[in-house]
Chains A and B, each alone.
Chain A
Amino acid sequence: MDPELLILSSLAGGPKHGYAIMQEVALFSGIELGPGTLYTAITRLVDEGWIEPAEASGRQRPYRLTGQGLEHLREQLEKMRQLASFGLRRLRTA
Protein backbone atom coordinates (compact mmCIF):
# COMPACT_ATOMS: atom_id res chain seq x y z
CA MET A 1 0.00 0.00 0.00
CA ASP A 2 1.12 3.55 -0.76
CA PRO A 3 3.13 4.88 2.26
CA GLU A 4 1.90 8.41 1.56
CA LEU A 5 -1.72 7.35 1.88
CA LEU A 6 -0.94 5.51 5.11
CA ILE A 7 0.72 8.62 6.56
CA LEU A 8 -2.15 10.88 5.49
CA SER A 9 -4.62 8.46 7.07
CA SER A 10 -2.66 8.48 10.30
CA LEU A 11 -2.46 12.29 10.36
CA ALA A 12 -6.22 12.54 9.79
CA GLY A 13 -6.48 11.66 13.50
CA GLY A 14 -4.36 14.67 14.52
CA PRO A 15 -0.74 15.88 14.39
CA LYS A 16 1.98 13.28 15.05
CA HIS A 17 5.74 13.03 14.78
CA GLY A 18 7.51 10.48 12.61
CA TYR A 19 7.89 7.73 15.20
CA ALA A 20 4.23 7.98 16.27
CA ILE A 21 3.11 7.82 12.63
CA MET A 22 5.21 4.71 12.13
CA GLN A 23 3.72 3.01 15.20
CA GLU A 24 0.13 3.88 14.32
CA VAL A 25 0.52 2.77 10.70
CA ALA A 26 1.87 -0.59 11.91
CA LEU A 27 -1.14 -0.85 14.24
CA PHE A 28 -3.93 -0.12 11.76
CA SER A 29 -2.42 -1.61 8.58
CA GLY A 30 0.11 -4.16 9.78
CA ILE A 31 2.71 -2.47 7.54
CA GLU A 32 6.00 -1.51 9.15
CA LEU A 33 7.39 1.55 7.39
CA GLY A 34 11.16 1.83 7.57
CA PRO A 35 12.62 5.24 8.57
CA GLY A 36 13.93 5.82 5.04
CA THR A 37 10.57 5.04 3.45
CA LEU A 38 8.74 7.13 6.04
CA TYR A 39 10.87 10.23 5.56
CA THR A 40 10.90 9.88 1.76
CA ALA A 41 7.09 9.96 1.89
CA ILE A 42 7.01 12.80 4.45
CA THR A 43 9.36 14.88 2.28
CA ARG A 44 7.13 14.39 -0.73
CA LEU A 45 3.95 15.16 1.21
CA VAL A 46 5.49 18.39 2.55
CA ASP A 47 6.68 19.35 -0.96
CA GLU A 48 3.16 18.73 -2.32
CA GLY A 49 1.70 20.89 0.45
CA TRP A 50 -0.44 18.02 1.78
CA ILE A 51 1.13 18.06 5.24
CA GLU A 52 3.12 20.68 7.15
CA PRO A 53 5.39 20.66 10.18
CA ALA A 54 3.79 21.86 13.40
CA GLU A 55 5.51 23.47 16.39
CA ALA A 56 8.32 21.17 17.62
CA SER A 57 8.25 20.06 21.23
CA GLY A 58 11.47 18.02 21.23
CA ARG A 59 13.90 16.75 18.60
CA GLN A 60 11.02 15.36 16.53
CA ARG A 61 8.64 17.74 14.79
CA PRO A 62 5.01 16.74 14.58
CA TYR A 63 3.26 16.98 11.21
CA ARG A 64 -0.34 17.88 10.50
CA LEU A 65 -2.65 17.62 7.51
CA THR A 66 -3.30 20.76 5.47
CA GLY A 67 -6.68 21.53 3.89
CA GLN A 68 -5.28 20.39 0.53
CA GLY A 69 -4.01 17.19 2.12
CA LEU A 70 -7.40 16.48 3.64
CA GLU A 71 -9.05 16.95 0.25
CA HIS A 72 -6.47 14.70 -1.44
CA LEU A 73 -6.95 11.99 1.18
CA ARG A 74 -10.74 12.16 0.80
CA GLU A 75 -10.45 11.79 -3.01
CA GLN A 76 -8.06 8.85 -2.76
CA LEU A 77 -10.16 7.02 -0.18
CA GLU A 78 -13.30 7.59 -2.23
CA LYS A 79 -11.56 6.07 -5.28
CA MET A 80 -10.47 3.10 -3.18
CA ARG A 81 -14.03 2.68 -1.85
CA GLN A 82 -15.42 2.65 -5.41
CA LEU A 83 -12.78 0.15 -6.52
CA ALA A 84 -13.43 -2.08 -3.51
CA SER A 85 -17.21 -2.10 -4.00
CA PHE A 86 -16.80 -2.80 -7.73
CA GLY A 87 -14.38 -5.66 -7.05
CA LEU A 88 -16.62 -7.15 -4.36
CA ARG A 89 -19.68 -6.97 -6.64
CA ARG A 90 -17.73 -8.80 -9.35
CA LEU A 91 -16.61 -11.43 -6.86
CA ARG A 92 -20.21 -12.09 -5.77
CA THR A 93 -21.26 -12.78 -9.37
CA ALA A 94 -18.17 -14.84 -10.21
Chain B
Amino acid sequence: MTLRNILVRAYPRSWREEYGEELGAMLGQRAVSVGVVADVLAGAFRQHLRRDDPWKICGAFLFLWTVAGDLVNCHWFLLLLPPVFFITGAWTVMRDRSDTLSAARAVSKAAILAVLPDVVAVLLAGPNPVQLQDGIICFRWGIYTATILRPEWWEYFPSLARQVLPCIWVGCVGGLFGRLANGVREGLRG
Protein backbone atom coordinates (compact mmCIF):
# COMPACT_ATOMS: atom_id res chain seq x y z
CA MET B 1 0.00 0.00 0.00
CA THR B 2 1.43 3.37 -1.02
CA LEU B 3 1.59 6.46 1.17
CA ARG B 4 -1.03 8.04 -1.09
CA ASN B 5 -3.48 5.20 -0.42
CA ILE B 6 -2.79 5.32 3.32
CA LEU B 7 -3.53 9.05 3.38
CA VAL B 8 -6.80 8.61 1.48
CA ARG B 9 -7.81 5.75 3.76
CA ALA B 10 -7.39 8.03 6.79
CA TYR B 11 -10.68 9.68 5.75
CA PRO B 12 -14.10 8.30 6.75
CA ARG B 13 -15.50 5.73 4.31
CA SER B 14 -18.52 7.86 3.33
CA TRP B 15 -16.20 10.75 2.47
CA ARG B 16 -13.86 8.50 0.49
CA GLU B 17 -16.72 7.26 -1.64
CA GLU B 18 -17.43 10.85 -2.73
CA TYR B 19 -14.00 12.46 -2.85
CA GLY B 20 -11.39 9.72 -2.30
CA GLU B 21 -10.54 9.15 -5.94
CA GLU B 22 -10.08 12.87 -6.61
CA LEU B 23 -7.86 13.33 -3.55
CA GLY B 24 -5.80 10.29 -4.56
CA ALA B 25 -5.37 11.68 -8.09
CA MET B 26 -4.34 15.06 -6.70
CA LEU B 27 -1.76 13.50 -4.38
CA GLY B 28 -0.40 11.64 -7.40
CA GLN B 29 0.17 14.93 -9.21
CA ARG B 30 2.47 16.47 -6.62
CA ALA B 31 5.30 15.63 -4.27
CA VAL B 32 4.00 14.38 -0.93
CA SER B 33 6.05 16.33 1.61
CA VAL B 34 5.76 16.22 5.40
CA GLY B 35 3.65 19.39 5.22
CA VAL B 36 1.24 17.75 2.74
CA VAL B 37 0.95 14.65 4.95
CA ALA B 38 0.14 16.83 7.99
CA ASP B 39 -2.38 18.86 5.97
CA VAL B 40 -4.14 15.75 4.65
CA LEU B 41 -4.23 14.09 8.08
CA ALA B 42 -5.67 17.27 9.62
CA GLY B 43 -8.31 17.24 6.87
CA ALA B 44 -9.10 13.59 7.64
CA PHE B 45 -9.47 14.42 11.32
CA ARG B 46 -11.90 17.24 10.53
CA GLN B 47 -13.98 14.95 8.30
CA HIS B 48 -14.15 12.32 11.07
CA LEU B 49 -15.45 15.01 13.41
CA ARG B 50 -18.05 16.06 10.84
CA ARG B 51 -19.20 12.63 9.71
CA ASP B 52 -18.58 10.04 12.42
CA ASP B 53 -21.00 9.30 15.23
CA PRO B 54 -20.09 11.21 18.42
CA TRP B 55 -19.94 7.97 20.44
CA LYS B 56 -17.21 6.63 18.14
CA ILE B 57 -15.07 9.73 18.51
CA CYS B 58 -15.61 10.06 22.27
CA GLY B 59 -15.27 6.30 22.76
CA ALA B 60 -12.00 6.18 20.78
CA PHE B 61 -10.67 9.10 22.82
CA LEU B 62 -11.64 7.37 26.09
CA PHE B 63 -10.14 4.10 24.87
CA LEU B 64 -6.75 5.82 24.45
CA TRP B 65 -7.27 7.69 27.71
CA THR B 66 -7.93 4.45 29.59
CA VAL B 67 -4.83 2.85 28.06
CA ALA B 68 -2.81 5.84 29.28
CA GLY B 69 -4.45 5.58 32.72
CA ASP B 70 -3.65 1.88 32.93
CA LEU B 71 -0.05 2.39 31.88
CA VAL B 72 0.62 4.94 34.60
CA ASN B 73 -1.78 3.18 37.01
CA CYS B 74 -3.43 6.47 37.88
CA HIS B 75 -7.08 6.28 38.88
CA TRP B 76 -7.83 9.98 38.77
CA PHE B 77 -7.70 9.50 35.03
CA LEU B 78 -11.22 8.12 35.45
CA LEU B 79 -12.51 11.51 36.50
CA LEU B 80 -12.48 12.55 32.85
CA LEU B 81 -15.23 10.07 31.98
CA PRO B 82 -18.28 12.05 33.23
CA PRO B 83 -17.54 15.23 31.25
CA VAL B 84 -16.83 13.18 28.11
CA PHE B 85 -20.06 11.23 28.59
CA PHE B 86 -21.90 14.51 29.03
CA ILE B 87 -20.39 15.80 25.77
CA THR B 88 -21.23 12.50 24.01
CA GLY B 89 -24.88 12.76 25.04
CA ALA B 90 -25.23 16.46 24.22
CA TRP B 91 -23.40 16.15 20.90
CA THR B 92 -25.47 13.14 19.79
CA VAL B 93 -28.76 14.89 20.48
CA MET B 94 -27.65 18.21 18.99
CA ARG B 95 -26.25 16.66 15.83
CA ASP B 96 -29.04 14.19 15.07
CA ARG B 97 -31.84 16.23 16.71
CA SER B 98 -32.76 12.99 18.46
CA ASP B 99 -34.18 12.17 21.90
CA THR B 100 -32.56 11.53 25.27
CA LEU B 101 -32.72 7.77 24.78
CA SER B 102 -30.32 8.05 21.85
CA ALA B 103 -27.94 9.92 24.18
CA ALA B 104 -28.10 7.02 26.65
CA ARG B 105 -27.43 4.52 23.86
CA ALA B 106 -24.49 6.59 22.57
CA VAL B 107 -22.98 6.90 26.06
CA SER B 108 -23.36 3.14 26.65
CA LYS B 109 -21.47 2.40 23.44
CA ALA B 110 -18.76 4.95 24.26
CA ALA B 111 -18.47 3.40 27.74
CA ILE B 112 -17.92 -0.05 26.25
CA LEU B 113 -15.07 1.32 24.13
CA ALA B 114 -13.67 3.15 27.16
CA VAL B 115 -13.37 0.03 29.28
CA LEU B 116 -12.11 -2.36 26.62
CA PRO B 117 -8.46 -1.81 27.65
CA ASP B 118 -9.42 -2.73 31.21
CA VAL B 119 -11.16 -5.89 30.05
CA VAL B 120 -7.97 -6.96 28.33
CA ALA B 121 -5.81 -5.86 31.27
CA VAL B 122 -7.87 -7.81 33.78
CA LEU B 123 -8.00 -10.89 31.58
CA LEU B 124 -4.25 -10.81 31.17
CA ALA B 125 -3.21 -9.74 34.67
CA GLY B 126 -5.91 -11.36 36.78
CA PRO B 127 -8.15 -9.66 39.33
CA ASN B 128 -5.61 -8.82 42.01
CA PRO B 129 -3.87 -5.74 40.58
CA VAL B 130 -7.11 -3.84 40.03
CA GLN B 131 -8.38 -1.70 42.87
CA LEU B 132 -12.12 -1.04 42.98
CA GLN B 133 -12.92 2.66 43.13
CA ASP B 134 -16.16 2.93 45.11
CA GLY B 135 -17.61 6.39 45.39
CA ILE B 136 -16.17 7.63 42.11
CA ILE B 137 -18.83 8.33 39.55
CA CYS B 138 -16.72 6.64 36.91
CA PHE B 139 -16.31 2.91 36.69
CA ARG B 140 -14.41 0.08 35.12
CA TRP B 141 -16.59 -2.42 33.42
CA GLY B 142 -13.55 -4.52 32.73
CA ILE B 143 -13.55 -5.63 36.32
CA TYR B 144 -17.10 -6.85 36.01
CA THR B 145 -16.62 -8.41 32.63
CA ALA B 146 -13.83 -10.41 34.17
CA THR B 147 -16.23 -11.40 36.93
CA ILE B 148 -18.22 -13.41 34.43
CA LEU B 149 -15.15 -15.48 33.76
CA ARG B 150 -13.87 -15.59 37.35
CA PRO B 151 -16.47 -16.83 39.84
CA GLU B 152 -14.51 -15.54 42.83
CA TRP B 153 -15.33 -12.02 41.65
CA TRP B 154 -19.09 -12.39 41.70
CA GLU B 155 -19.27 -10.58 45.01
CA TYR B 156 -18.61 -7.35 43.17
CA PHE B 157 -21.72 -7.61 41.01
CA PRO B 158 -23.90 -5.43 43.28
CA SER B 159 -21.46 -2.58 42.69
CA LEU B 160 -22.12 -2.76 38.97
CA ALA B 161 -25.43 -0.91 38.93
CA ARG B 162 -24.13 1.63 41.43
CA GLN B 163 -21.23 2.53 39.19
CA VAL B 164 -22.73 2.09 35.74
CA LEU B 165 -25.98 3.95 36.17
CA PRO B 166 -24.43 7.31 37.12
CA CYS B 167 -22.43 7.23 33.90
CA ILE B 168 -25.51 6.64 31.78
CA TRP B 169 -27.30 9.38 33.69
CA VAL B 170 -24.50 11.82 32.99
CA GLY B 171 -24.99 11.07 29.28
CA CYS B 172 -28.76 11.55 29.64
CA VAL B 173 -28.20 14.92 31.31
CA GLY B 174 -25.98 15.77 28.35
CA GLY B 175 -28.83 14.68 26.08
CA LEU B 176 -31.25 16.96 27.91
CA PHE B 177 -28.78 19.80 27.54
CA GLY B 178 -28.60 18.99 23.81
CA ARG B 179 -32.39 19.15 23.51
CA LEU B 180 -32.42 22.48 25.32
CA ALA B 181 -29.70 23.82 23.01
CA ASN B 182 -31.66 22.61 19.96
CA GLY B 183 -34.76 24.38 21.26
CA VAL B 184 -32.87 27.63 21.85
CA ARG B 185 -31.29 27.40 18.38
CA GLU B 186 -34.64 26.87 16.71
CA GLY B 187 -36.16 29.67 18.79
CA LEU B 188 -33.42 32.06 17.68
CA ARG B 189 -34.05 31.16 14.06
CA GLY B 190 -37.65 32.20 14.66
Contact = CB atoms under 8 A, between A and B. Distances in A.
A34 B44 CA distance: 13
A19 B47 contact: no
Contacts of A38: 26
The binding surface of chain B is classed by DSSP as helix
B64 interface: no
Contacts, number: 54
B148 interface: no
Contacts of B22: 17-18, 39, 59-61
Given A40-B46, A42-B19, A43-B19, A35 B39 contact: yes
Interface residues of A, number: 17
Contacts of A39: 19, 22-23, 43
Contacts of B40: 34-36
B23 A35 contact: yes
A39 B40 CA distance: 9
A40 B43 contact: yes
Contacts of A82: none
B21 A36 contact: no
Contacts of A68: none
B48 to A, nearest CB: 11
B65 to A, nearest CB: 26
A2 to B, nearest CB: 15
Q: Which 8 A-B pairs have the closest CB atoms?
A: A36-B43, A34-B39, A36-B39, A36-B40, A59-B25, A40-B43, A60-B22, A35-B26
Interface of B: 15, 18-19, 21-27, 29-30, 35-36, 39-44, 46-47, 50
11 contacts: A18-B23, A19-B25, A19-B29, A34-B40, A35-B26, A35-B27, A36-B41, A37-B42, A43-B47, A59-B22, A60-B22
